[in-house]
Amino acid sequence: MPFPAPDRATYDSDPRIAAIQSRLDRTDSIIPNFKSMHRMGARLPQECVRITAGEFASMIFGTTYDVPSYSNWLLEEADLGPAYDYHRRFLQFLQWKCPAERWVLKSPAHLWSLEEMLAAYPDARLIQTHRDPLKTTSSLASLITTLRAMGSDHVDPVAIGKQWARWNAAAVNASARARQDGLIGSGRIIDVSFYEFMDAPLEQVQRIYDFFELELSTSIRNRMQDYLNTHTADQHGAHRYDFHDFGFDVAEERERVRPYQEYFDVPAEIR
């Protein structure tokens, strides 16, 4: 519900905040264990794939519905330049009456369309997180299996695993090529290890701020620490999944993601 544009005077009291929270609460009633996988809230960050859904060019559809022809088109064939033009205009609209210094966006979907994303945002600075891609593939397969259950009684985890293993490998390997080919210069991107972030999140945040020559004020750092103190990883239950539940072959999947893993020296969790 982006219209009308958010207004500074009612930015924190806009009735749409409560309306969206109510909608999210209904989602919790349909798939209650989803919160253990992906925390959502009207005042929390969300992937910006929600924006390009308005252009019908978003991976959000492929995660919820079993339409592989659409996902194949989106991830392998579509010209996403117009979707990023829409994305940029959408952000401009949202900040029209509430300008700020910068946007902070997140989505793994950008890995499939780095060239188009950088064309739309030539001054973007990037953070790429890294974890064993076999672990992220099985986590993603588990997440999508749960999401599909919201709209269907016939969900095939093995088929989902096969689809997303291929697409996920294409995404992470593309990120390695973007570095090798010079599409993304080293001065505009920082790599963050999942393992180091989980061990010391605020140290990694400080490292990011330092890399981009930004000031992390004491008040903001304290707010981050307060959030960590009150929102634990298993607050809504642990996300439990097993790589082998999705019909994966370790050797085959390891070879599929080898270009990414070797380039970024990402350790293997699953053997």
The CATH number assigned to the domain holding 211 equals 3.40.50.300
3 located within any domain: no
DSSP string over 22-85: HHHHHHHHHSGGGGGTS---TTS---THHHHGGGT--HHHHHHS--HHHHHHHHHT---HHHHH
Cα(142)–Cα(70) distance, integer angstroms: 20
Structural domain total, the chain: 1
Q: Would you state the structure tokens that stand for residue 259, as one six-digit string?
A: 């270009």
pTM: 0.90
269 located within any domain: no
Cα(188)–Cα(212) distance, integer angstroms: 8
The boundaries of the domain holding residue 33 are 8-264
271 located within any domain: no
- Asked if residues 37 and 125 have their Cβ atoms less than 8 Å apart, the reply is no
State the pLDDT at residue 1. 87
2 located within any domain: no
Nearest Cα neighbor of 106 from 47, 57, 29, 179 is 47
Helix, strand, or coil (residue 170): helix
What pLDDT tens digit does each residue of the chain (271 aa) get?
A: 899 999 999 999 999 999 999 998 887 777 777 777 778 889 988 899 999 999 999 999 998 899 989 999 998 899 999 999 999 999 999 999 999 889 999 999 999 999 999 999 999 999 999 999 999 999 889 889 888 887 788 999 999 999 999 999 999 999 999 999 999 999 999 999 999 999 999 999 999 999 999 999 999 999 999 999 988 766 655 667 787 888 899 999 999 999 999 999 999 998 8
224 located within any domain: yes
1 located within any domain: no
Q: Which positions ≥6 away from 40 have C-beta within 8 Å?
A: 24, 27, 34, 46
270 located within any domain: no
66 located within any domain: yes
